[in-house]
Amino acid sequence: MRLIITEKPQLFDALAPRAAERWPGEEIIMICSMPYILNVYSYPRGLAYNEYPLLGEPAYKKTESRFEDGSFTMAVLVAEGKAGQRYRMSFKQARKEMLRAEHLVFAGDWDHAGVWGMERMLELLAPERDGTQFEVAIINAGLDESSLRRVLGDLRAPTDPRYQALKNAALVKRYFDYNFNTNSLSILGQLYRSAAESNQPVLITKNMVQILIEAAKTGEILETGRLKENSLCHWKGTGKYDPRDCEAYEWWLHGMGSAASRPSLLKQMTSLGLLEALDEGKYPIRFGITAFGRDFASRLHKDCADPDLTFRLCHWMSKPIEEAKLLIDAYLMSFFRKQKRRQDASAS
């Protein structure tokens, strides 16, 4: 049996006939790796405020207990050259199929999120398998017949330098995000609760900080509008970093956040009272900073402003994980120590 792991179920219908053509007569099942669902962090609990800032390896919520039987992932059986009816596969069933498969193929977007989804599936479902014994179909062009035939005819090994670079980039980014969020939940979370006079647990992400600081300077921020100033999808930074250097990376983080994450990011900032939507229904989509948002931004240490963070993170992702960790550790400890000292001074 051949098990094909895709990043999203939208690929099933396009890939099924080409997979049946490539491996005639084989039993073929396709399942979705769901990288944004499997990667839910488990943050430290029960620690005192004075124990922050701190650093640690990313931890994840236990996956099996998060899904009722039959609801773990989307799957299809390829029959007669077509993707059959989609069905939900339980965690136990997905593990069984992963172990039963004679051949594994990762067919996903050629980016760090897609590669990490495959690695996470292997770690969760089949840690007994040799983690290098699968093939990689690089989906980096169209989903037309010609493109998919070419992709499936040119399978790579996970030892391919490009795959390894994306895997390393994913490890670096997740290390940064996990440790930023861990400290933000405590330190920036306390700042929010103090400013809002609330007991609400709040996560202020790395992008929220930079968006809010920029909005405090300009009064508003644009979700879209590629050629507009203050546009999140055309984030310029200070100019210290040449965007062309980052564009050479296959994990280049286009803009502040991604096209998929920006709407939810701005929605969350709006629900927290930091931003408000302006001229709804018009283009470009504009968000203005609220009075509360200005107050919160004024309580941030001046060195929290880092409009080059997107570019900096891209460069860190190009470095070996252990080297990148040293740079990230120094950055995060400085960032949160300064912020914590400012908060403590204001409270005394």
Q: Which two tokens stand for residue 226?
A: 């590629």
Q: For residues 303 and 164, what is the distance between their CA atoms, to the nearest angstrom?
A: 34
pLDDT tens for 308-336 read: 999 999 999 999 999 999 999 999 999 99
Min mean pLDDT across 3-7, 63-67, 113-117, 283-287 is at: 63-67
| Whole-number pLDDT of residue 276 | 95
pTM, two decimals, is 0.91
Burial of 248 (0-12, 13-18, 19+ CB in 10 A): exposed
Cα dihedral angle (106, 111, 117, 123), rounded to 10 degrees?
Answer: 80
- Taking Cα atoms as reference points, which of 115, 114, 33 lies closest to residue 75? 33
pLDDT at position 225 is 62
Alpha-carbon gap, residue 154 to 214, rounded angstroms: 45
How many other C-beta atoms lie within 10 A of the C-beta of residue 273?
17
Indicate the domain borders of the chain.
Answer: 2-159, 166-347
Distance of CA 225 to CAs 69, 185, 230, Å?
A: 44, 31, 9
Question: In the structure encoding, which two tokens stand for residue 255, read together?
Answer: 């803009």
What is the pLDDT, as a whole number, of residue 281? 72
Nearest one of 173, 149, 244, 182 to 54, comparing CA atoms? 182
115 and 17 Cβ atoms separated by less than 8 Å:
no
- Between 10 and 19, where is the model more confident? 19
Indicate whether 290 pLDDT > 70. yes
Q: Which of 46, 28, 7 is nearest to 83 (CA)?
A: 28
Q: Which pLDDT score, from 0 to 100, does residue 216 have?
A: 94
Looking at the predicted structure, is the pLDDT value of residue 71 above 80?
no
Alpha carbon distance, N-terminus to C-terminus of the chain: 66
Q: How far apart are CA 86 and CA 326, in angstroms?
A: 45
Burial of 342 (0-12, 13-18, 19+ CB in 10 A): middle
Average pLDDT over residues 160-175: 94
Cβ(77)–Cβ(101) below 8 Å: no
Fold entry, domain 2-159: Rossmann fold (3.40.50)
Q: Higher pLDDT residue, 232 or 12? A: 12
Q: What's 286-307 look like in SS3?
A: EEEECHHHHHHHHCCCHHHCCC
The arithmetic mean of pLDDT across residues 122-144, rounded, is 86
Per-residue pLDDT reduced to its tens digit, 95-115: 899 999 999 999 987 788 888
Quote the pLDDT of residue 236: 81
pLDDT tens-place string over residues 205-234:
999 999 999 999 989 888 876 556 667 887
**What is the dotted CATH code of the domain comprising 166-347?**
1.10.460.10
Residue 156 DSSP symbol: B
d(CA 244, CA 232): 17
Judge whether residue 64 has pLDDT over 90. no
The arrangement of strands across the sheet holding 275-278 comes to 220-222, 286-289, 275-278
Q: Tens digit of pLDDT for each residue in 237-289?
A: 888 888 777 777 777 777 787 777 888 899 999 999 999 998 777 777 889 99
8 Å CB contact between 207 and 177: no
pLDDT of residue 328: 98
> What is the amino acid identity at position 318?
S
> Phi and psi of 7, rounded to 5°?
-80, -30
In terms of Cα–Cα distance, which of 211, 204, 205 is closest to 230? 211
List Cα–Cα distances, 62 to 42, 95, 158, in angstroms: 8, 15, 26
When pLDDT is cut at 50, 70 and 90, the band that residue 70 belongs to is: low
